[in-house]
Amino acid sequence: MNRRDWIKSASIAVGASCIARKTFADGLTLPPRESSHGCINLSMNENQFGPSMKALSAIKESSIYANEYPLEAQERLKKLIAKKESVATSQVILGAGSSDITMGAASAFGRTGSNMVSSDPSFHPLMLWAEKFGVDHVKIPWDAEHRADLTRIEESITEDTSLVYICNPENPAGTLEHPHDLYEFCKRVSEKCPVLVDEAYIEYAGDVDSLSMMRCVREGLPVIVLRTFSKAYGLGGMRVGYAVTTKDLADRLAAYYVTGIGCGCSHTSLEAAIAAYTDQSWMDSVRTRTAESRKYLCDYYDSIGQSYIPSVTTFILAPIKQDSTQVADAIFGAFNLKVSPRNYFGQNYLRISVGTIEQMEKLTSALTYVL
């Protein structure tokens, strides 16, 4: 395809791009709608299948309580999470997105002169905030399999280490630690300092209970498990996240972010989260559809001989020869489709979130031209 044909096909694609075409007779697919971004946005790991219908109804129904502080809804969500994870309600912290709690953790643990250890690249906002308080960020490169190098991370802990951050599954690689190895790591390391395990994408990775480090919390280890409703639960716009940890660490965290009259979440957000949390069939459908679309993109990469890092999540990181920013700009300019350009240690990558099959078709048309 030459450039002119490509741009022509791109503009056709743009017309249909933001519209989910399926009907929703199955109760699992949202009505057609334009994206609020004004483009197909595959750069932010949003759930392209949208929120569950039950969450949408809960948002509508709870809007009449906008005048009231959401204390009851907050307690209800905490209780649901505590029951599911077999911990006390006092061990659950809610935040306006997990970012809210991340920020709290940066303040709670980030004493001046201390350091925090994480893999690199990873999801770094916690350490970036902590750096503002004079904390040194010790970055340990991935191992050969694009996972956190647990051995080297453990070796770099000193008496000044105030927190170890592990993103599992890893963002941006999409890889997963072996649960047994990570569990043993958490057991040893948490004797020296708290370990925060960010499980933002764990629901995509398989059987959550067997993969999660929640068992460390149940065993009383100083481990903080961070989760979010922004990804598999499809509620990025509602801003609800949570942490589950020991009572001591929960109290320490709670001292550093919005509490008192309520957490930072609104009434509608909390009701949406409660509805999504209890809507298992919708979650199952998100997992199935995400896996189908991830396979679609992997099959495409295989067909053109493009390598990528095998992912258990809703995004795929692929090393490319071209300048990733130029490639992302070209795709956006012609297809109104955003992907995330990355460069790590001089290597260019594209990190692309998977979406509906229709979106994957547009994406692969675009990639065919630029890769």
Ligand X SMILES: Cc1ncc(COP(=O)(O)O)c(C=O)c1O
DSSP at 69: -
Q: Which stretch binds ligand X (CB under 6 A): 31-39, 94-102, 109-117, 356-364?
A: 94-102
DSSP 281-339: HHHHHHHHHHHHHHHHHHHHHHHTT------SSSEEEEEESS-HHHHHHHHHHHH-EE-
Q: Is 123 in the site for ligand X (CB under 6 A)?
A: yes
Instruction: Output 70 or 97, the one with its CB closest to ligand X.
Output: 97
Describe the strand order of the beta sheet including 92-95 as a list of residue ranges.
92-95, 241-244, 223-228, 195-198, 161-167, 115-120, 136-141
Instruction: Output 58 or 240, the one with its CB closest to ligand X.
Output: 240
Least distance between ligand X and beta carbon 205 (Å): 12
Q: Which stretch binds ligand X (CB under 6 A): 91-99, 327-335, 343-351, 359-367?
A: 91-99
For the chain, the residue count is 371
Exactly one of 43, 47, 62, 98 binds ligand X (CB under 6 A); that residue is 98
Q: Is 175 in the site for ligand X (CB under 6 A)?
A: no
- Long-range CB contacts (< 8 A, 24+ apart) of 85-90? 85/214, 85/217, 85/218, 85/244, 86/218, 87/217, 87/218, 87/244, 88/247, 90/247, 90/250
Q: Is 62 in the site for ligand X (CB under 6 A)?
A: no
Q: Using H for helix, E for strand and C for coil, what is the string for 213-268?
A: CHHHHHCCCCEEEEEECCCCCCCCCCCCEEEECCHHHHHHHHCCCCCCCCCCCCHH
Instruction: Output 94 or 167, the one with its CB closest to ligand X.
Output: 167
Instruction: Output 236 or 319, the one with its CB closest to ligand X.
Output: 236
Least distance between ligand X and beta carbon 72 (Å): 23
Q: Is 241 in the site for ligand X (CB under 6 A)?
A: yes
Instruction: Output 7 or 80, the one with its CB closest to ligand X.
Output: 80
Q: Is 339 in the site for ligand X (CB under 6 A)?
A: no
The residue sitting closest to ligand X, measured at its beta carbon, is: 97
What is the footprint of ligand X within residues 181-200 (CB under 6 A)? Answer: 198, 200
Exactly one of 41, 162, 228, 290 binds ligand X (CB under 6 A); that residue is 228
